[in-house]
Each structure stands twice: as structure tokens, then as C-alpha cells.
Amino acid sequence: MSVNAAPGASPAAAPSEARAGQYLMFTLGEETFACRINSIREIIECPVMTAIPLAPDFLRGVINLRGSVVPVIDLSARFGRGQTRIGERTCIVILEIESAEGAQLLGVIVDGVTAVLEVEAADIEPRPNLGGGIRSEFIAGMIRQGELFVLMLDMARVLSSEELQSLVALEQPQQERFAAV
């Protein structure tokens, strides 16, 4: 399937996630975001998390998911909007993210999941050039819905490679601790 690319841009330059297919729609506050379902393992209710001292604000802690230690990030805090208030619809989207160390499970707190949407290539706009040093590498593109746009997130890029590596390092001692219990 082709991706709508900016004039003069080659399709190879377009983000790999900005293509037709199924997308999970979820909310953070009043805004709706989307991510491809291919990296989603499951969606769970928000369990009790084990806090990690001196961790960045966006790392809410870790959970034990059937014997695996899964770091949980607060996507709202990651985007500089403050921590998500855990409510009735709050859930954790469990993703499988490729890192330098291989596949890693990562939980992402969202305010709620709204739908799985089949998106056609004609409804996808390329990642905007925001200029002025504004970070946008985690945006895979935009889904056009009438007059509005829904940002498509490249979940593997929401965290930098250094941040992902630190989560992997954090996960290993926790795995050993859970195995000893």
C-alpha cells in the first residue's frame, strides 16, 4: 500500500507506521490518538503498580504480567501533560516494542480505549513538519476524520533508544526478584 508522502519525499522516508490498516483509537484527556494494532499484545485494567524510586515522572512503575516484569509509562506525563488520574476507564495497553536488546513488553497508561478503526491509505496524511525544534519523531502520521486529525503514534519512538535501554536494564533485576518469589 502506498503512503501519502510530502512532495519530493520518497516513500522510504515516510514513517513505517503510517500506512493503511487497523488502528487502536484511545484517549489522553480530551484528545484521541491512534496506534497500529500490530504491536499491541493486549489491553488490561489498570493494576497496582510497583513504583521505582528516582525514575522519571513518566515511568509509573512496573507490573507483574503473568510472571513478566513490564515497565509502565504514563503517556500523558511523557507528553508533558501531567500524570494520568486513574479512573474507571483507565487501562494499560501492553505493547511489544523492538529495542537493541530484542522485543520488550511495555505498558502504556491511557485514559480509555475507544475503538479499533480500519484506516484507508487515502485517509492518512504524512507526519507534519512542525519546525522550530519541536520533537515530532514519535508521530507516524495523521488520520483525517472529517475536519479533524487524529495523531498516529509510532510507539517505538515515544521513548528514545536510550530510555528504552534504561527500561530494559531496569527490567532485568526486577525479573530476577520476581523469579525468587
pLDDT tens-digit series, residues 124-133 = 998 877 666 5
Residue with more model confidence, 101 or 140:
140
Cα–Cα distances (Å) from 62 to 89, 112, 175, in that order, read 20, 20, 11
pLDDT tens-digit series, residues 69-89: 999 999 999 988 889 999 999
Decide if 116 contacts 36 (C-beta within 8 A). Answer: no
> Higher-confidence residue: 176 or 69?
69
